[in-house]
Amino acid sequence: MTRHNLPALDPAQRYAIPEGSEYLRTSRANLYKKISRGEIRVIKDGARTYIPGTEIARLSALAE
């Protein structure tokens, strides 16, 4: 799922792993590795895993 025009990041939202990987421009596998190492905080909702928009913004700011 690759989109060229992502909507603006909303820090108040939570994003599924595929969406998070698009915003962070990394693979899903790399994203799961970072999650397992504790580098990225996530929200669990049953079996689903979400990345808070604030976490994506934090990681994006580190890349700059």
Per-residue confidence at 63, pLDDT binned at 50, 70, 90?
low
Range of the domain at 54: 14-63
Q: Is residue 29 part of a domain?
A: yes
Q: Does 27 fall in a domain?
A: yes
Structure-token pair, residue 53: 């928009």
pLDDT given at position 60: 85
Tens digits of residue pLDDT in 7-55: 899 999 999 999 999 999 999 999 999 999 999 999 999 999 999 999 9
| Number of domains comprising the chain | 1
Output the DSSP codes for 13-37: SEEEHHHHHHHHTS-HHHHHHHHHT
With 70 as the cut, is the pLDDT of residue 1 above it?
no
Whether 21 is in a domain gets the answer: yes
